[in-house]
């Protein structure tokens, strides 16, 4: 291989490493929460690591299973929320517009968004 080939290979590896760092899945941690809101009001917060089925009023059913969250059923006509793939990181959410339901994964239980320590 020539010198230009080595330079190209190193550039591709560096670029790949940068892309991996930027696009890697977000770690939700052991105590991540599933937050459900209905019409902008908090409906409930549930542990992501606890398998359960949650009835959201009389309209939707959300399932938490093996760290994944998905909408099992909804009474809306388009069923887009049911067809949405399961979410498992903070980067996604499931929204049912007709029923005004939003399901998202948020920080850890007891996480009050305050710093753990302050450096001086």
Q: What pLDDT score does 71 carry?
A: 96
- Give the per-residue pLDDT at 109: 46
Q: Residue 64 falls within a domain, yes or no?
A: yes
Angle at CA of residue 45, ends 89 and 91, nearest 5°: 20
Q: How far apart are CA 37 and CA 99, in angstroms?
A: 11
Could you tell me if residue 17 is inside a domain?
A: no
Instruction: Indicate the number of domains in the chain.
Output: 1
Q: What is the pLDDT of residue 111?
A: 47
Give the structural domain span for 84. 32-108
Domain assignment of residue 38, yes or no: yes
pTM here is 0.66
Helices (H), 1-105: 3-23, 80-83
Q: Is residue 70 part of a domain?
A: yes
- What is the DSSP code string of 31-59? TEEEEEEETTEEEEEEETTS-EEEEETTT
> What's the pLDDT score for residue 118?
58
In a domain, 53, yes or no: yes
Give Cβ neighbours of residue 10 (< 8 Å, ≥ 6 apart).
Answer: none
CATH code of the domain containing 81: 2.60.320.10
Q: How far is the C-alpha of 76 from the C-alpha of 120, rounded, in Å?
A: 53
Mean pLDDT by 10 residues, the chain (120 residues): 86 85 61 90 92 94 93 94 88 89 78 54
Q: Is residue 55 part of a domain?
A: yes
């Amino acid at each position: 291989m020539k010198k230009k080939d080595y330079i190209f290979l190193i550039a591709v590896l560096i670029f790949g490493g940068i892309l991996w760092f930027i696009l890697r899945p977000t770690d939700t941690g052991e105590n991540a929460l599933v937050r459900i809101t209905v019409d902008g009001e908090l409906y409930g917060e549930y542990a992501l690591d606890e398998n359960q089925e949650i009835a959201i009023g009389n309209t939707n059913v959300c399932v938490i299973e093996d760290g994944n969250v998905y909408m099992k059923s909804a009474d809306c006509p388009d069923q887009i929320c049911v067809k949405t793939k399961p979410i498992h990181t903070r980067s996604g959410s499931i929204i049912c517009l007709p029923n005004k339901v939003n399901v998202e994964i948020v920080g850890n239980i007891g996480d009050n968004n305050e710093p753990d320590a302050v450096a001086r």
